Structure 1
Amino acid sequence: MGRGQKRGRTQRKHFKENRENLWKYSNDGDNRAGDVASQSNSHNPSWEPFNTENQAFEEYYKEQGIVSEEEWSKFISFLRKPLPAAFRINSSGQFYKDIQSQLENDFSKSLEADLGHEYETEPIRPLAWYPGNLAWHSNFSRMQLRKNQTLERFHEFLKLENEIGNITRQEAVSMVPPLFLDILPDHHVLDMCAAPGSKTFQLLEMMHQSSNVGLLPNGLVIANDVDVQRCNLLIHQTRRMCSANLIVTNHEAQHFPSCRLNTEIENGRLTSSSPSCLTEEAVTNQLLFDRVLCDVPCSGDGTLRKAPDIWRKWNSGMGNGLHRLQVQIAMRGLALLKVGGRMVYSTCSMNPVENEAVIAEILRRCGSTAELVDVSGELPQLIRRQGLKNWKVRDRGLWLHSYEDVPPARKGVILQSMFSPAQSSEDLGSSSSDVPVDTILAADTVEEENGTSRSQTVSSDNPGSEYDFLVDGAILTDSIKAKVEMDECPPLERCIRIVPHDQNNGAFFIAVLRKLAPLQDASGNNPHQKKKSDNCMFEVSEEKTRAAKDQYESEKAGKASGVQILTETSDGSFQNNHPWAPDDDPQKTNNVGSKPLHLEGEKESGNVAKSRLQIQGKWRGVDPVVLFEDEDVIKTIRTFYGIDTSFPLEGHLVTRNTDSSRVKRIYYISKSVHNVVKLNFKVGQALKITSLGLKIFERQTSKETYASSSCAFRISSEGLPLLLPYIRKQILHASLADFENLLKYRNIKFSEFIDVYFGQKASNLAFGCCVVVLNKGDQTMEDAPVDASTVAIGCWKGKTNLSAMVSPVDSQELLARLSFKHKGSAPVEEKAETGSEENVEEVPEDVEGNGESGDGDQVKEPEEQHDCAGMFQ
């Protein structure tokens, strides 16, 4: 990303390439999987397989010594083969043990019998290094799974379970970084570059794994990505997890906002509620994280086996161009990390300029405030290699051994931090600058949209400086070196390198860092505590309140969309509490039962100005986050379903629409997410939230079908598992036969149920949504508590029939699970004659689920994505 380019371009420009990036096969014996593909293309003379040769690639990595000369042939031969498929079982899913059993006892044996003679090892096997046999490796590529008829049943199984969320198809090495984070249920976790979401899903699995039914962990995951479309993909992926502990944000990772309350403003007029209602970080007025996953954008050449088009595109400049951005993101991650917390830096690249060089630069900047953790004793069965200590930099065909070799004209591109510490230590010691470490990313960095003055400048004294920024009046230069020189090179051997031929996977780089103390500025002060000081590198021209004042003046002048700063009063309502607002300033309030956390309105001229002001969130194009506090609606929902008072609804419901009469969906958020949302409100809504929480209620929109129901909202399929232990009304308990019939036929008259008593109870329910629970054997659920093995679905009680409110895909998967779990049970009864269906009430499409992420936001069904943070993700 060169000088003058728009920030974030490096991360975004490669995502728009639509060229098909899948393996195609020539009819050679080296690729057994390619027979079908070769035959299908034999009649097409224009078809050509991917070229897996790149002389520059081989020359570069031979010189870097990624592997020994003796291993090179094996290393390069594996890179030219398709990547075997791998997947992970969702350990927090209800049927994860059944899926494990099916893999171990069904598919392993059947595939071994059918295909075992073609392979030296078993066709599918659990990954030995992944805890609990939850991750599986197959000897089949994606193309084989799609084209081989013998594998058709296994492929259909993978597709169905992946769509439901019981498994996640993910490259094996991509599963490694989250394991080194050591996630606990009460951790606050930040995934800085999260899309497409496989690692985020993995983080949520770990957080929810030990949670009991109906209870939520105390932690949360904030998943961020720079690209809006990829955020939609991230939302789609993580929605399968059905978690109330997730927030999805849309920011450049290197400028991820700080949720930090300014003490002076807090003691003034901007806030009025007690800090006790916020997170524990409110004591220091900032949201920090226990764990940070920093899976940065990279050149992605570790994914050559999955994305063979990289062979054509690869050049050494790809890694050089991303180095600065990777350092920025990593430093921002460390700034947001709690002291004692752990951050994992990872890439799917083999390039040391993107890997060891970044880690070495981070350690130089942080000094004694961070350390590289030795994790050689963790995941002992994972075959890994130590990080490199020496490497070279290549630019425009020239090998550069040290920064002194860089031509003056190229010093704006080739940075000193790219070189090996052993080679550049003399340069560090002889640096003419005595200014200490640049902590620009450790400071309270806020994006331009939030009003912070941030502009790129060029230092006349140092034309080789590549990253000078003006922040609050202080010029901070990226080329400034560490004040404390290192007597020894950093312990880069503690980094982890994974190469393809060790365990038949892709390539990956991982480094684990621990924060030992707050990042410090030149005077030794914590940069989060900005104070004017003659010796302080962070000389602030005005106090933090200047941004809020400028924001109000902009709003008053009708320029960029202003933000009303609202505070919560003792009665729970919000009022305008702007420190510079005149007494006669009109209040833009909303009294429709929903409480906006952050509103903006623009006055319009003419007759339009007389109409109600448009209410929307601060971030253009993103629906506002609104606390749903319509007491009448909440009371109706609680009464209709008999929801126990021990389950908190008040303060945990949010919507994305400020008009409660038009709210389509209500989302449930955990206490931890609620606290972050409140903190985000108090700091002026710094976080651009694109999705949060768990969809728990949906409005019944069909007037004819739902006119007789006393409750306007039905329970969503995603929210049912959380609510089930607390529901006392509108609940039925069905036998296995009747339950399976409901899934299979979807609409059944009361008189046609096999259990006559069940049909009578169904007819006596109130008109509207209800819940049907599967009995456990001969024991009805009235006699058994709800636990992890309880199976239930949402249904609609009509005038004459009961209808299942689950999607066809969910019905198919649940039928398959029940069939596997209850082998030997009585066969499913066939439905009555089709002629009896003429009076059955159809359930409208809107109760069978949809792909919407909010009140009106559509999420496209994603195609299969590459799970890495690189260009070809």
Structure 2
Amino acid sequence: MARRKGNNRKKTFGARDDRNNGEWTEIKKDNEKWETYYKAQKFIPEKDWDFFKKTCQTQLPLTFRITGNRKHANEILDIFKTKHLPQLGNVEFEGEIIKPPVNLPWYPDNLAWQLDVSKTVIRKNEQFSKTQRFLVLETSAGNISRQEAVSMIPPLLLDVEPHHKVLDTCAAPGSKTAQLIESLHSTSDEPTGFVIANDADARRSHMLVHQLKRLNSPNLLVVNHDAQFFPRIQIENNGKKSFVLFDRILCDVPCSGDGTMRKNINVWKDWNTQGGLGLHTVQYNILTRGLKLLKKGGRLVYSTCSLNPVENEAVVAQALRQWGDKIKLVDCSDRLPGLIREKGVSDWLVYDRNMDLKTKENRGDIKESCFPPTKEEAENFHLDRCIRVYQHFQNTGGFFIAVFEKNGETQKDAVVDEPPKEEPNSAIVKKMKTDSGDVVVTKKEKLPRDANEEPFIFIPSVHPELEKCWKFYGVDDKFDKNNCLVRNATGDPTRVVYTVSKSLKNIIESNEDRMKFIYAGVKLFVAQRSDIECPWRVQSESIPIMKHHMNSARVVECTEDALKVLLTHAFPTFDDFKDESLVSKLKELKTGCIFVSIKRNDPLKEDLFLPVWNGSKCANLMVAKDDTHELLYRIFGIETTRNEQKKPQQQDEKKEEGKMTENKI
């Protein structure tokens, strides 16, 4: 329902009719053209139509998946299954029994779940409210991702591995991209591959950043380009330039979206045949561009949240028609057992915008590629290898997926028409003094940017500020120190230093004049107090990487009892800790950022590594409030409320260490 519009404004979808005495009117979930179109296609048997339509008219259930490495994910799963699931069975609300959560049988390792409950139940029922609080905390901590069930399928079929170069052509809002990043990091904190997330809309690109930043991956690059004309990415190795061909590409293309009508009520009002007909060419262009950027032996997934064959099988067939035996559809019938699906179709009807049935011979302005393949083509194309998921099969949205593999390529495949390159600007040469002597830094100007966009400027590892950090935190030589960058016009480390993977540094430096970069890098060092030995602290975002490379007395062993003190006290004094060994080490260390390493007693649970500010008389755990609450619940079973804060302790010490408050993450 939309808010009241002004009397002189054009009435828009969902707006209240002021002639209706101020009452809200419910949107009618019906569309005669949609029903006529899909009944004629006969994809849904007549006996199942009413159930299919009724499902499309009901609310989409809440689904989520548990993320992280195996130990971490299993710990979160165990908490959900032991502390929440038993309490959600046989729950009665207003005289009705509420369905308990069920796992998605086709998602690996029981890590994806579905809750078919309304917001009213979640808000008013005590047990469901507790589960909602658990989900919110774990989502904030990055341990859970809320995502529509069918949206999880395409990334699973891409089979991303840590060394893969991955492109997501139409990434916003980012749930599938997050899944790709998680796969990249599934067996390694420091994968050698990367994920490039692209979206054509600048605003949606920045929304994408908001969604993906919580994953803290130095192997992620967000860019802003029209996927139909995605530029070739240049890299340089040993003085030789070449172009990137990707191991994995996801083309989840713009579509008419009738698979989303359970959550997007606009579809009921706006759906018409012209939507699919108008998008067909754009969808094909994105798919064929992806195929040109795919390496031999690589895999590409084409997907839509539409059931319309003009947007699905017709696009796939046209690609197979144009590429011949250089590509093939992959048979995924043995993948994701438990997923109820239908095969792709090789025959369908085409209607024009006026709902008139058309043929190839009498097609008017409709493109020939919108029509079904010939009998001979159908035998060769194997469109039955495509996947169709209908809403009523397992109470989900609707989705279409096709998986391609590339059998061959020519130089022509990889070199295609590009948008014209900007004329390169003059370079800026800068000389900087270091302990090791003068270093000359050359910075090329990038593409013209909006006033609010920040540049990406790499700084040498011998920069005096970085050298302080390497020494202070005992960072070993296995950590690649040459991939640090800043995002300010001066190119100097003044407030934040970021780090990216080596492969992404190569891409950023080699494509400043041809790509529009939106986001890359995780925060490595953040400026803190200037009156201490090292004015930089290690940011929490980079700890999953840095914990493997710090050989320093500033990494202190800590017991779970001491951790509990840090979690429940805002600024515990040294006297609050009962561990004399820990207190002795804290007193010996200079003021600044340190790290506590907590070994868990259970071999099935993940060890912890957390940042702490070490003051002259007290310490402070530097994690966000939501992360504090998540750790309290996960480690100690202590429940908190949404607005609850850490309990203030030792006000004198808090005043003395007042500057430390700005270091809270």
> Structure 2 length as normaliser, TM-score?
0.88
> Over residues 742-762 of structure 1, what are the superposed CA-to-partner deviations in whole Å (9 max), with x where a residue is unaligned?
122221222332324423321
Distance 2:180 2:90 in 1: 36
Q: Which runs of 5+ in 1 are unaligned?
A: 1-16, 23-43, 262-273, 426-484, 520-524, 531-537, 539-543, 553-561, 565-575, 577-587, 601-615, 701-705, 823-829, 850-873
**Aligned 8 A contact 1:116 1:122 in 2:** no
Q: Which amino acid aligns with 2:522?
A: L
> Over residues 781-819 of structure 1, what are the superposed CA-to-partner deviations in whole Å (9 max), with x where a residue is unaligned?
xxx9xx982212212222332122211111111111111
**1:276-295 alignment runs, 5 A limit:** 276=238, 285-295=242-252
**1:127-526 alignment runs, 5 A limit:** 127-142=104-119, 144-146=121-123, 148-211=125-188, 215-260=189-234, 275-276=237-238, 285-407=242-364, 411=365, 414-422=366-374, 486=377, 488=379, 490-518=381-409, 526=412
Greater CA radius of gyration, 1 or 2?
A: 1
Give the direction of change, closer, same or farther, for the CA distance of 1:515–1:810 in structure 2 (3 Å limit).
same
Q: Identity over aligned residues, as a percent?
A: 36
**Aligned residue for 1:30?**
none
Give the direction of change, closer, same or farther, for the CA distance of 1:185–1:117 in structure 2 (3 Å limit).
farther
- Secondary structure in structure 1 of the residue aligned to 2:289: helix
Give the superposition deviation at 1:138: 1.6
How big is the alpha-carbon RMSD for the aligned residues of Structure 1 and Structure 2? Answer: 3.3
**Aligned 8 A contact 2:571 2:648 in 1:** no
Distance 2:333 2:617 in 1: 65
- Secondary structure in structure 2 of the residue aligned to 1:240: helix
2:53 aligned with 1:76: yes
**Aligned 8 A contact 1:187 1:219 in 2:** yes
Which has the higher mean CA deviation after the structures are superposed, 840-849 or 67-76?
Answer: 840-849
**Aligned residue for 1:810?**
627
Give the superposition deviation at 1:306: 1.6
Which has the higher mean CA deviation after the structures are superposed, 690-699 or 143-152?
Answer: 143-152
**Aligned residue for 1:555?**
none
**Aligned residue for 1:724?**
547
**Aligned residue for 1:445?**
none
Which has the higher mean CA deviation after the structures are superposed, 190-199 or 385-394?
Answer: 385-394
Give the direction of change, closer, same or farther, for the CA distance of 1:122–1:699 in structure 2 (3 Å limit).
same
**Aligned residue for 2:471?**
639
Give the direction of change, closer, same or farther, for the CA distance of 1:748–1:771 in structure 2 (3 Å limit).
same
- Secondary structure in structure 2 of the residue aligned to 1:803: strand
Q: Which amino acid aligns with 2:635?
A: L
> Over residues 333-388 of structure 1, what are the superposed CA-to-partner deviations in whole Å (9 max), with x where a residue is unaligned?
10110011110000011111111111111111112221111111111221110112
Distance 1:384 1:595 in 2: 60
Q: Which amino acid aligns with 1:591?
A: K
Give the superposition deviation at 1:153: 0.6
Give the superposition deviation at 1:764: 2.1
**Aligned 8 A contact 1:796 1:804 in 2:** yes
Give the direction of change, closer, same or farther, for the CA distance of 1:496–1:838 in structure 2 (3 Å limit).
closer
> Over residues 481-520 of structure 1, what are the superposed CA-to-partner deviations in whole Å (9 max), with x where a residue is unaligned?
xxxx94846221111100011111110000011111126x
**Aligned 8 A contact 2:469 2:536 in 1:** yes
Distance 1:334 1:421 in 2: 20
- Secondary structure in structure 1 of the residue aligned to 2:612: strand
Distance 1:114 1:324 in 2: 50
Give the direction of change, closer, same or farther, for the CA distance of 1:217–1:834 in structure 2 (3 Å limit).
closer
**Aligned 8 A contact 2:217 2:522 in 1:** yes
**Aligned 8 A contact 2:166 2:248 in 1:** yes
**Aligned residue for 2:455?**
624
**Aligned 8 A contact 2:162 2:185 in 1:** yes
Greater strand fraction, Structure 1 or Structure 2? 2
**Aligned residue for 2:643?**
none
Which has the higher mean CA deviation after the structures are superposed, 231-240 or 291-300?
Answer: 231-240
**Aligned residue for 2:531?**
708
Give the superposition deviation at 1:673: 2.0
- Secondary structure in structure 2 of the residue aligned to 1:725: coil
Task: State the aligned residue count.
Answer: 638
- Secondary structure in structure 2 of the residue aligned to 1:75: helix
**Aligned residue for 1:663?**
494
Give the superposition deviation at 1:114: 2.5
Give the superposition deviation at 1:659: 2.3
**Aligned 8 A contact 2:197 2:222 in 1:** yes
Work out which of the residue numbers 657, 669, 680 in structure 1 matches 2:511: 680
> Over residues 239-290 of structure 1, what are the superposed CA-to-partner deviations in whole Å (9 max), with x where a residue is unaligned?
22111111111111111110247xxxxxxxxxxxx73378xxx5xx210100
Distance 1:358 1:595 in 2: 52
Work out which of the residue numbers 794, 797, 822 in structure 1 matches 2:614: 797
Q: Which runs of 5+ in 2 are unaligned?
A: 1-9, 16-20, 434-438, 640-645
Q: Which amino acid aligns with 1:563?
A: N
Q: Which amino acid aligns with 1:494?
A: R
- Secondary structure in structure 1 of the residue aligned to 2:91: helix
Distance 1:98 1:20 in 2: 45
Give the superposition deviation at 1:191: 0.5
Give the direction of change, closer, same or farther, for the CA distance of 1:660–1:132 in structure 2 (3 Å limit).
same
**Aligned 8 A contact 1:115 1:123 in 2:** no
Give the direction of change, closer, same or farther, for the CA distance of 1:319–1:107 in structure 2 (3 Å limit).
same
2:428 aligned with 1:599: no
Give the superposition deviation at 1:763: 2.4
Work out which of the residue numbers 557, 568, 591 in structure 2 matches 1:767: 591
- Secondary structure in structure 1 of the residue aligned to 2:402: strand
Distance 1:655 1:21 in 2: 46
**Aligned 8 A contact 1:806 1:847 in 2:** no
Distance 2:401 2:413 in 1: 28
Distance 1:670 1:389 in 2: 44
**Aligned 8 A contact 1:749 1:840 in 2:** no
Distance 1:405 1:57 in 2: 22
Distance 1:18 1:598 in 2: 52
**Aligned 8 A contact 2:447 2:514 in 1:** no
Q: Which amino acid aligns with 2:151?
A: S
**Aligned residue for 1:37?**
none
Q: Which amino acid aligns with 2:346?
A: K
**Aligned residue for 1:98?**
75
Q: Which amino acid aligns with 1:518?
A: E
Distance 2:526 2:541 in 1: 11
**Aligned 8 A contact 1:170 1:198 in 2:** yes
Q: Which amino acid aligns with 1:642?
A: G
- Secondary structure in structure 2 of the residue aligned to 1:216: coil
Give the direction of change, closer, same or farther, for the CA distance of 1:99–1:204 in structure 2 (3 Å limit).
same
**Aligned residue for 1:695?**
523
Distance 1:303 1:831 in 2: 45
Give the superposition deviation at 1:598: 5.1
Give the superposition deviation at 1:726: 2.2
Give the superposition deviation at 1:122: 5.5
Distance 1:812 1:597 in 2: 46
Give the direction of change, closer, same or farther, for the CA distance of 1:527–1:381 in structure 2 (3 Å limit).
closer
